Amino acid sequence: MIKCSCKLDTNGIPHVSKSQLETYGERVLRDFSPTVLLEPQPTDIDKLITHYMGFTLEYQYLSHNQVYLGITVFDDTNTLPVYNPEQNRAEFLSVKKNTIIIEGTLADNPNLIHRERFTEGHEASHGLIHPEYYQRKG
C-alpha cells in the first residue's frame, strides 16, 4: 500500500494541499487498479478498503437523523455511539481498529448508492492519509 507523507503543523495536525491529494490519489489508484486511470470505469471502493487497505467495512446506524454518514476507527474501542432504531436510542458498540463504518441507511436505499460510494471513498481517504495522527491522538 502506498503511504502518504503529510507535513504536520506545530499541533501535529496533518496538512495536505489539493495538488498533493490529487497526486497521492493517482498513486494509490495506479497501485490498486492501474486500468482505472487508463479507461473510465468504476473503482471497487469496497475492495480498496478491505483488500488494499486491509480495513474492515461495516454498516451501522450512526445517528437517528443521518447527521454522520461515516466514521474511520483507528484504535480499538468499546464506546462508539451508534443508533438502535428498534429501541429508538443510542448504544455503545465495540469496534476493532482499522474499521470503516458507513451509515446503514445508505446501504438500505438503492437510490443512495452514489452517496454511499462517496462516503466510503471519503472515509478511506482518512484511513490512507492520516492514520499516524489519529493513532497518536488515541
| SS3 category, 65 | coil
Nearest to 101 by CA among 68, 135, 65: 68
CA dihedral 24, 25, 30, 35 (to 10 degrees): -160
Domain contains 56: yes
Domain contains 18: no
Domain contains 88: yes
User: pLDDT of the chain along its 138 residues, tens only?
Assistant: 888 777 778 877 778 889 988 999 999 999 999 999 999 999 999 999 999 999 999 999 999 999 999 999 999 999 999 999 999 999 999 999 999 999 999 999 999 999 999 999 999 999 998 777 766 665
Nearest to 114 by CA among 57, 64, 45: 45
Domain contains 90: yes
Residue type for position 70: G
Write the DSSP symbol of residue 4. -
Q: Are 73 and 96 in contact (CB under 8 A)?
A: yes
Domain contains 4: no
Number of separate domains in the chain: 1
pLDDT at residue 77, as a whole number = 96
Q: Which residue shows C-alpha cell 452514489?
A: 114
The model's pTM is: 0.91
Domain contains 2: no
Nearest to 125 by CA among 28, 9, 30: 28
Domain contains 6: no
